[in-house]
Amino acid sequence: MLLLVGDIQGCNEALGRLLDTAGFSPSRDRLVLLGDLVNRGPQSLAVLQRLQGLGDAATCLLGNHDLHLLAAAFGVRKPHRDDTLDEILDSPQRDAHIEWLRHRPMAWQAAGWLCVHAGVPPQWTAAQTLACAQEIERLLQGPDLAAFLNEMYGNEPANWDSARTAAQRRRFIVNALTRMRFCNAAGDLDLQTKEGAGSAPPGYMPWFDVPGRGTAGVPMAFGHWSTLGLVVRDELLALDTGCVWGGQLTAARVDGGRHDIIQVPCPQGRRPGATA
């Protein structure tokens, strides 16, 4: 069995109930977690401990909140008021957790499904998506991680051009894979709008609805977009259903061209005053 799991964001209790409901066995089955493993929920440390304990049975993608944890751990960014990362940052095993996290992938392909945290620009094919992800993974695992984290932040450039400077190209890759929701037909990203699909700015649309995108026909799964909600199409799964905001934790059990949806409610619910 292959389970694709939406954003956990520190909701370890919900994750445990989801795996129990699905009948998951690490000796037999495999998980792909679509990023945002930590933050905003109350049990981020427990989530990391659980996932590390699953070993090769769990492939954990990095989302924007996970990169934020790395930035906080390396002193590049201060934790936000609504973050729930202190338990990790203050843990005696902090270094081991951070080392594990920086070796997680930015994109993955399993059983024919291309998995990312947020989205893929329309110019990219599946092969280019994985190649761009690997470019960032090498930086995350290398000796100059702090320098890369410093250059990672920002909304520009808005579109893909392989001829840009290395820093610009890398920033765009990170924004596409971990932050994008809307873009236009030319591939320009809108990184400001966070509401559902109907809130697209003029000329923009959800990235997966761009006509002729390079990943058309490739089964894809992603998270990140809780206001979009669950989307189930033959070749598209949006699995962030706002667990940490009082919604559901969602997984898709995929088997060839079939996929069954499994959901459990999140007992923690939304933290007062928190923002997405």
In tens, the pLDDT along 164-203 reads 999 999 999 999 999 999 999 999 999 999 999 999 999 9
User: Greatest CA separation found in the chain?
Assistant: 50
pLDDT at 210: 97
Residue 183 lies in a domain: yes
pLDDT at 276: 47
Using left for φ > 0, alpha for ψ between -120 and 50, and beta otherwise, residue 180 falls in beta
pLDDT at 268: 66
How confident is the prediction for the chain on average, in pLDDT? 95
Q: How far apart are CA 239 and CA 224, in angstroms?
A: 8
Whether the Cβ atoms of residue 61 and residue 116 lie closer than 8 Å to each other: yes
Residue 272 lies in a domain: no
Report the CATH number at residue 121.
Answer: 3.60.21.10
Residue 273 lies in a domain: no
Residue 271 lies in a domain: no
Q: How far apart are CA 81 and CA 206, in angstroms?
A: 30
Give the Å distances, CA to CA, from 97 to 45, 70, 93, 108, 147: 9, 10, 6, 21, 20
pLDDT above 80: residue 270 = no
Whether the Cβ atoms of residue 7 and residue 36 lie closer than 8 Å to each other: yes
Whether the Cβ atoms of residue 214 and residue 230 lie closer than 8 Å to each other: no
pLDDT at 163: 87
- Rounded to an integer, the average pLDDT of 1-6 is 96
pLDDT, one tens digit per residue, over 204-230 is 999 999 999 999 999 999 999 999 999
pLDDT, one tens digit per residue, over 120-141 is 999 999 999 999 999 999 999 9
Structurally, the chain folds into a number of domains equal to 1
Residue 161 lies in a domain: yes
Residue 11 lies in a domain: yes
If pLDDT is split at 50, 70 and 90, which confidence band does 269 have? low
* Burial call 196-221: b when 16+ CB within 10 Å, e when fewer: ebeebeeebbbbbebeebbbeebbbb
pLDDT, one tens digit per residue, over 105-123 is 999 999 999 999 999 999 9
If pLDDT is split at 50, 70 and 90, which confidence band does 273 have? very low
pLDDT at 259: 85
Q: How far apart are CA 117 and CA 137, in angstroms?
A: 14
Residue 219 lies in a domain: yes
Print the domain residue range for 181.
2-265
If pLDDT is split at 50, 70 and 90, which confidence band does 267 have? confident
Whether the Cβ atoms of residue 50 and residue 12 lie closer than 8 Å to each other: yes
Residue 258 lies in a domain: yes
pLDDT above 50: residue 253 = yes
pLDDT, one tens digit per residue, over 46-100 is 999 999 999 999 999 999 999 999 999 999 999 999 999 999 999 999 999 999 9
